[in-house]
Amino acid sequence: MRVAELNWMQLEEYLRHDDRIVLPLGSTEQHAYLSLATDSILAERVAVEAAEPLGVPVLPALAYGITPYFAAFPGSPSVRVETYLSLVGELLDSLRGQGFRRFLLVNGHGGNTPVAALAGSGVVVHHWWNAPKTMAMVREIDPDASHASWMESFPWNRVPGVVMPAGKKAPTPRISEDPVEVRALLGEGSFGGYWERPDEDVMRVWRAGVEETREVLLNL
């Protein structure tokens, strides 16, 4: 259940029988032809679908993250690692003061991986797209799939009216931290893989992500 759809009294009632809460972690950054909010949209949605049957509340996604290498792409703001860890840490401390004791951080952005430093003391960090079962499903379909390819292209984060290129882009790993060089290397922004796959394939990955996230929440 989304916290955005609750009032404080309902959340206080929830705390009488459970102390878990989910915080999705996203980013606002280039995803080639996909939405700039892709990481936030997906992290929050996978968290909500995973948590709904369990009745665990999900906070709005933290929409900004660590993405300095995409600074040359408009609409890709970033914060320092220290700033990010401080912000997430303070949010957790604040929630502890309200009675929450167990936290699942559902991360949707590779650049946010330093947040693993906050794991422990009731805090679990789950990189949903890169979790073993979900990534195994991706690799089974397309071993070259990566950032901004079909593996991140779901009906809810595609940009209306935008037509994806045909075929497959050769893998182009980011080999520089310089934003100008990164943009020159990547072009439109994808790291490689098929631009599109049938929605049947896409939804296989999505279902794996939801189920794997739910397993983590069940064990929290």
- The tokens of 209 are what? 């992500």
Domain extent for 183: 3-218
- The tokens of 152 are what? 């991140």
Q: Where residue 175 sits, what CATH number does that domain have?
A: 3.40.50.10310
Residue 78 has pLDDT above 90, yes or no: yes
| pLDDT tens, position by position, 95-134 | 999 999 999 999 999 999 999 999 998 999 999 999 999 9
The domain total for the chain is 1
What secondary structure does DSSP assign to 161-179, as a single string? TPPPPSSEEPP-----S-H
Looking up tokens 């952005």 gives 109
pLDDT of residue 204: 97
Residue 176 has pLDDT above 90, yes or no: no
86 and 97 Cβ atoms separated by less than 8 Å: no
Q: How far apart are CA 77 and CA 105, in angstroms?
A: 21
| pLDDT tens, position by position, 20-37 | 999 999 999 999 999 999
Looking up tokens 């915080």 gives 23
- The tokens of 179 are what? 């934003």
Any alpha helices (H) in the chain, and if so which ranges? Answer: 8-14, 38-51, 81-97, 132-141, 179-186, 199-218
* Radius of gyration, CA atoms only, the chain: 18
| pLDDT tens, position by position, 133-145 | 999 999 999 999 9
pLDDT of residue 173: 78
Residues with Cβ within 8 Å of residue 181, at least 6 apart in sequence: none
| pLDDT tens, position by position, 45-73 | 999 999 999 999 999 999 999 999 999 99
Residue 82 has pLDDT above 80, yes or no: yes
In degrees and rounded to multiples of 5, residue 71 shows phi and psi of -60, -20
pLDDT of residue 174: 74
Average pLDDT value for the chain: 97
Residues with Cβ within 8 Å of residue 33, at least 6 apart in sequence: 148, 159, 162, 164, 165, 188, 195
Read off the pTM. Answer: 0.96
pLDDT of residue 47: 98
Instruction: List the Cα angle 63/66/67 in 5-degree steps.
Output: 100
Strands 168-169, 193-194: pairing is antiparallel
